[in-house]
Amino acid sequence: MAIIPARPGDHNLKDYARARETFRFEDVEREFSWYTTGRVNVVYEAVDRQVEERGMGQQVALYYESGERQEEYTFGRLQEESARFAAVLKKYGVQKGDRLGIFLPRSPELYISFLGAARLGVVVVPLFEAFMAEALRDRLGDSGAVGVVTTSELYPRLPLDQLPALKHIFVVGEDIPKGAVDWHREMSLVTETPPLEWVGREHPLFILYASGADGKARGLVHVHNIMVGLLITARWVHDLRPGDVYWCTADPGWITGIAYGFLAPWLLGVPVVVRGGRFNAEDWCATLARYRVSVWYSAPTAFRMLMSGGDELLARYDLNRLRHILSVGEPLTEEVMEWSLKKLGQPIYDTWWMSETGMNMICNYRCMPVKPGSIGLPLPGIHAAIVDDEGKELPPGKIGNLAIRSGWPAQFRAVWNDPARYQQYFQHRPWFISGDAAYRDEEGYYYFQGRVDGVINTSGERVGPAEVESRLEEHPAVARAGVAGKPDRLRGEIVKAFIELNPGYRWSEDLAAELRNFVKTGLAAHAAPREFEVKESIPLTRDGRVDRRVLREWILGLGGR
Ligand code: PRX
């Protein structure tokens, strides 16, 4: 595919070469109020400041729509309601540094709860709404959460008997279970709201659990300083400016839905659209048109689903306001890029980053030529490299480990309760080893080549094979399981499980359905294997772990044992 020429942007990086030489993150730090006052809280910068210093109290911050519900929240209202929720937390004794799980579907209550907690310096543990008992137990248990916010519908999934630290359950909804706190009622009872708490730049903001190749999900600790990385990327990558309406389609149970779903745009006072419910091509087009979305951040899987909706669908909606489209999470294929050029009249800008990085790292910028297939160029201030397994830098054209020099502002600061796993990322200091394979061309553009470590990426969602394996092995029919990603046109990869059966069990479609459901009800729907294959035995490495190399060979049809 031909190179796509540069287009004008507002915050342009035309002088990329110069910015790479001269830009320092301290340049953006000056824009935060704490630069002069010394008082830090991301909620102040993203919400209160718009009201108190910029006269934007009446401006819409959030357009929400889901089924029958259609609501607008101004910055003023968000400030007010989140302060109320802070009062509720305080009443129940939840304090600075305590962890609070947020297990809610995309809804205004989710954003209000997040902001309310962060106002007090309470650390949020985001929990994707599809999580089931085991996933919830691991995350709430590991983080030692003292409270959780959920809905009446999701409440039954909480394995309360296995969570001794969990004291307060705030429930949004009609039927409030015995012993739980009625979120809406408590909000209505608040008469006085506490002041926002100032915290340090290094104070934890949220702990996001992300799947790795081994063991259980790891709690990545992000701190208030993440705002420095978010502000600069909101500008240089997303090209946000006053007058924009921004829609990031990711769920705030994942990093994209937190960092770009609301924090980054609000730092610039730009309103966001949030759509509840499941993906539906028609509704998505309607949303783009109704809210006159101008900047749209989504993922290849979603673009492909829209493509399958056909031309006739797009033709029915006026998408004239759409001026900048970005993608993340999985490879942006040529097919999707061509569709966008043809049907939406503009390219899609790919961005590469991960839960650990907290901010966009390697991106395509409007003001620079896009080489389709490339994830782009490192953001000024970010130093990327391709290194070998000893941490030695490799020249252009050579595939190796995609690495980032440690020390960027939005970097995760720890793995909660697990310093050893944190250190694994930094075996080759000063490099952070991403776990992705990539190469770089002579002009410095990077090309993603897949995961190195067996982490599965299905529809942009990260699945840890070991978590799925251990769940499968809890089923009486399964002696051992080996799980890997299988390339898939629609989803990037699907979860495939190889099963070694216990004596006395026979394989059948019913058993496959049962196992699928067993993973779904234990972990989450997106982690459930779409394909199974029975094997005599699952290959193990000398130290007794599943040999992922052999699984990959099986999947790619390269023989095996
Ligand atoms: O393999 C890379 C893939 O998603 C992984 C990170 O997943 P997660 O932490 O869930 O964060 C997703 C969104 C930030 C990476 O290790 N990935 C991310 N961006 C891209 C990508 N793969 C291909 N192209 C991308 N642009």
Using the mean position of ligand 1's atoms as its centre, give its distance from the Cα of residue 461 in Å: 9
Under DSSP, is residue 496 helix (H, G, I), strand (E, B) or coil? strand
Task: Tell me, using a 6 A CB cutoff, whether residue 331 lines ligand 1.
Answer: yes
Cβ pair 179, 143 in contact under 8 A: no
Cβ pair 136, 162 in contact under 8 A: no
- Asked whether the ipTM of the predicted complex exceeds the cut of 0.90, the reply is yes
Using the mean position of ligand 1's atoms as its centre, give its distance from the Cα of residue 347 in Å: 20
pLDDT by residue for the chain (561 residues), tens digit each?
A: 899 999 877 666 778 888 999 999 999 999 999 999 999 999 999 999 999 999 999 999 999 999 999 999 999 999 999 999 999 999 999 999 999 999 999 999 999 999 999 999 999 999 999 999 999 999 999 999 999 999 999 999 999 999 999 999 999 999 999 999 999 999 999 999 999 999 999 999 999 999 888 878 999 999 999 999 999 999 999 999 999 999 999 999 999 999 999 999 999 999 999 999 989 999 999 999 999 999 999 999 999 999 998 889 999 999 999 999 999 999 999 999 999 999 999 999 999 999 999 999 999 999 899 999 999 999 999 999 999 999 999 999 999 999 999 999 999 999 999 999 999 999 999 999 999 999 999 999 999 998 888 899 998 889 999 999 999 999 999 999 999 999 998 888 999 999 999 999 999 999 999 999 999 999 999 999 999 999 999 999 888 889 988 998 999 886 544
Closest CA to 100 of 88, 153, 44: 88
Report the residue among 448, 451, 459, 467 best suited for mutation to probe ligand 1: largest number of ligand atoms under 8 A from its CB: 448
Cβ pair 381, 393 in contact under 8 A: no
Under DSSP, the state recorded for 250 is S
For atom 3 of ligand 1, which residue has the closest CA? 329
Strand partners, 461: 458
CA distance 410 to 413: 9
Using the mean position of ligand 1's atoms as its centre, give its distance from the Cα of residue 354 in Å: 5
| Ligand 1 atom at shortest distance from the alpha carbon of 375 | 26
What pLDDT does residue 10 have?
66
Task: Tell me, using a 6 A CB cutoff, whether residue 328 lines ligand 1.
Answer: yes
Tokens of 459: 């529809």
Under DSSP, is residue 358 helix (H, G, I), strand (E, B) or coil? coil
β-strands 362-363, 349-352: how paired? antiparallel
Under DSSP, is residue 530 helix (H, G, I), strand (E, B) or coil? coil
Using the mean position of ligand 1's atoms as its centre, give its distance from the Cα of residue 79 in Å: 32
Using the mean position of ligand 1's atoms as its centre, give its distance from the Cα of residue 9 in Å: 25
For atom 14 of ligand 1, which residue has the closest CA? 354
* Burial group, residue 501, by CB count within 10 angstroms (0-12, 13-18, 19+): middle
Strand partners, 166: none
CATH architecture of 456-556: 2-Layer Sandwich (3.30)
Full-model pTM: 0.94
Query: May I ask the CATH class of domain 34-55+73-227?
Result: alpha beta
Task: Tell me, using a 6 A CB cutoff, whether residue 210 lines ligand 1.
Answer: yes
Q: What is the CA radius of gyration of the chain?
A: 23
Q: Where are the alpha helices (DSSP H) in 277-319?
A: 281-290, 300-308, 311-315
Domain ranges of the chain: 34-55+73-227, 456-556
List phi, psi (to 5°) of 352.
-115, 135
- Identity at 224, one-letter amino acid code: H
> What's the number of CA atoms in the CB half-sphere (13 Å) around residue 429?
3
Degrees (nearest 5) of the Cα angle 280, 286, 290? Answer: 145
CA distance 130 to 117: 22
Using the mean position of ligand 1's atoms as its centre, give its distance from the Cα of residue 149 in Å: 28
Place of tokens 């999470």: 329
Using the mean position of ligand 1's atoms as its centre, give its distance from the Cα of residue 35 in Å: 32
| Ligand 1 atom at shortest distance from the alpha carbon of 461 | 10
Task: Tell me, using a 6 A CB cutoff, whether residue 329 lines ligand 1.
Answer: yes
Closest CA to 266 of 99, 118, 62: 62
Q: Where are the alpha helices (DSSP H) in 237-292?
A: 255-258, 264-267, 281-290
